[in-house]
Amino acid sequence: MSRLDATLQDFRRLDDLARRDTALSRLDPRAKLLATLAFLVTTVSFDRYQVAALLPLAAFPLAMALLGEVPGRALLRKLAIAAPFPLLLGIFNPWLDRSPMGMLGTLEISGGWLSYASILLRALLTVSAALLLLATTGMHPLCLALQRLGLPQVFVTQLLLLHRYALLLGGEAARMSAAHRLRAGGRRPGLRVYAALLGHLLLRAVERAQRIHLAMRARGWRGELHSLQPGRWQHRDSLFLAGCSAFFLLVRSVDLPRWLGETAATLLARAAP
C-alpha cells in the first residue's frame, strides 16, 4: 500500500468511527460543534508566551476521545500528518526572540522557546479537537449542523462536496500512481511524467464533475441537505455545552497550574515543622 493510499484510508476511517453508537455520538451535532468552536477560540486567545496555562485544556480532547471511543493510535497517525506545519511555523522563534523569560534550574529560557512550545501545543490541541469532532460526528451531520446554525447553504454544500470528492480524486491519483509504478518498474517519475499525470488527473476530475452534475440535476437536487434522522436539541446537549463553556471560562480566567502550585507550596509550608 502506498503512502497516499494509507493516508486516504485513515481519513475514511473517521466516517466509520462516526457511525458507531457511543455516548458522544448520541449528542446533537450542534452541541459538539459549538463546544469545539468555543474550545478553539479559548485556545488561540492565550498569550504567545503562555504554555503551562494551556495544559488544562487538554482535558477536552481527552474527554472527547474517551466518550467517543476513538482509538489513540488512529488519532496519532492523523496528527502526524499535520505535525510538519507547526514544526516549521515557529522553528526560527528561538533565534529571533532571545529575551530571557525564566530559568529552568541553571538553564535560561528565552521567549522564543516559549512561543515555539506554545505554537506546538496550540496546534496539537486544535487539530486533535477538530479530528475528534469529525470522528465522533461525521461530515454529513456536521454540515447539517452548520446549516441549522444559519450558515449559507452554498458554503455548507461546497464543504460537503469538497470532503466527498477530495477522497475520490485522491483515490484516482493513487491508482494512477500505482499504474505508473507497475509500468516503470518501480522507478520514480520525473518532472515531465508528473506534469502528464497531473494533466490526466485534471481531465478525469472535469469529466467526473460533469457526470456528477448531470446525475444530480436528473435527480432534482436543488442544493439542500436532508437527513432521515432530524436532530433534536435535548437537555443533555444543553448540559454538555454549558459544562464545556464553564470549563473553558475557568481555564481562561484562572491560571490553574500556577494556582495549584501556589496552593501546594502553601500547604507544604504550613505542614513543615
Measured distance CA(114)–CA(50) in Å, rounded: 7
Q: How many helices (H) and strands (E) would you count in the chain? A: 12, 2
Report CA torsion sign: 195, 200, 204, 206: positive
At residue 273, does pLDDT exceed 70? no
Percent of the chain at pLDDT above 90?
A: 21
Q: What's the whole-number average pLDDT of the chain?
A: 82
At residue 271, does pLDDT exceed 70? yes
Q: Furthest-apart CA pair in the chain: how many Å? A: 85
Pairing, β 100-104 against β 107-110: antiparallel
Burial class (CB in 10 A: 0-12, 13-18, 19+), 130: middle
Measured distance CA(141)–CA(149) in Å, rounded: 12
What is the tens place of the pLDDT at every residue in 207-254? 877 887 788 778 777 766 666 566 678 899 999 999 999 999 999 998
What is the tens place of the pLDDT at every residue in 100-157? 777 666 777 788 888 888 899 999 999 999 999 988 888 888 888 888 888 888 888 8
CB 13 within 8 A of CB 74: yes
Measured distance CA(164)–CA(184) in Å, rounded: 31
* Domain residue extents for the chain: 1-149+229-257, 152-226
Residue 54 carries which DSSP code? Answer: G
62 versus 181: the higher-pLDDT residue is 62
